[in-house]
Amino acid sequence: MSASAATNPPARSGQEIRRIIIDKIGWVACGIGLLLVIAPLVDIVGVVAFHGASAFSLKLFTTVTNGTGGGLLNAIEGTFIITFGAMLIAVPIGVGAGIYLSEYGNNKLGSTIRFLSDVLTGTPSIVLGYFSYIVFIISLGWDFSVLAGAITIAILIVPYLARITELALRQVPTAMREAGFALGASEPTVVFKIILPGAASGVVTGTLLALAISVGETAPLIYTAGWSNYTWNGKLTHEPIGYLTYVIWTFIDQPFAESHALAYAAAFLVMLVVLAINIGVRLAIRRTKFV
């Protein structure tokens, strides 16, 4: 911009001055736009970290919630169990589907699955939650339970896992597959010994991002996992379970400072996990294009 100004004669016409002014105003407006997009994130992290960190104590990790306060032991444990269960269901399905789409999915069937997988990704999570509610809770009579919650979260993250796995596998050069087959390796050997190890970082990335999604979800769990003030007793069905995001949602609406502190502490923990995963993944794979 300044280069053109230097070569211009000093006397500028009115039109030129107008154009330069518009140029400056335009850039200032764009800068304000960027600021307004990023500022809320900084403020959210700041507010949550400030209130959340000041609510931290040992008691938070050793006691369970009661009606208005207490600790977060049951919620932390519940989030961990639901997430673990969801990953247990979703990772084999998602990675398997990703392998199929990448290795054998270059046909009509493959693109149909891809399209429907995108439709599932775009489906609001509350719709999935309500589906699970009428199927698992009402029709199958499981009551609010770990299993219903984990299956719902699994349905939510499987399409992500499949697409990210597919993208990762596609980056493995075809020559490596051909080399494997030329040595007489069978299809499973090529996939598990050559392609998957070659794309391991991409698959791990997808799994971590799916983990971050399931830790932060709320809406599909309200209708499936319910809520419990107690730690898990090991039953998969007929026993509701607590989770961190529920604490954020309900305790902030209570009139007590103690409840608010607990909501912020829960938000702080959730943000810590979600941001750590997302920042870590982005720093690790800055140059590749999975995300």
Choose one: 78-86, 151-159, 171-179, 232-240; the region binding another protein (CB under 8 A): 151-159
Cβ 284 to another protein shortest distance, Å: 12
φ, ψ of residue 131 in degrees (nearest 5) = -60, -50
Question: Which one of residues 68, 84, 106, 124 is an interface residue with another protein (CB under 8 A)?
Answer: 124
Compute the distance between CA of residue 174 and CA of residue 197 in angstroms, rounded to an integer.
Answer: 14
Question: Which one of residues 63, 171, 201, 218 is an interface residue with another protein (CB under 8 A)?
Answer: 218
Compute the distance between CA of residue 282 and CA of residue 54 in angstroms, rounded to an integer.
Answer: 29
Compute the distance between CA of residue 88 and CA of residue 94 in angstroms, rounded to an integer.
Answer: 11
Q: Does 49 bind another protein (CB under 8 A)?
A: no
Choose one: 53-61, 74-82, 174-182, 213-221; the region binding another protein (CB under 8 A): 213-221
As beta bridge partners, residue 91 has: none
φ, ψ of residue 235 in degrees (nearest 5) = -85, 135
* Touching another protein, residues 242-281 (CB under 8 A): 245, 248-249, 252-253, 263-264, 267, 270-271, 274-275, 278-279
CB 267 within 8 A of CB 95: no
Q: Does 285 bind another protein (CB under 8 A)?
A: no
Please give the structure tokens belonging to residue 157: 């993250």
Question: Which one of residues 12, 17, 31, 257 is an interface residue with another protein (CB under 8 A)?
Answer: 31
Distance of alpha carbon 166 from its chain centroid, rounded?
A: 18
Question: Which one of residues 49, 64, 113, 272 is an interface residue with another protein (CB under 8 A)?
Answer: 113
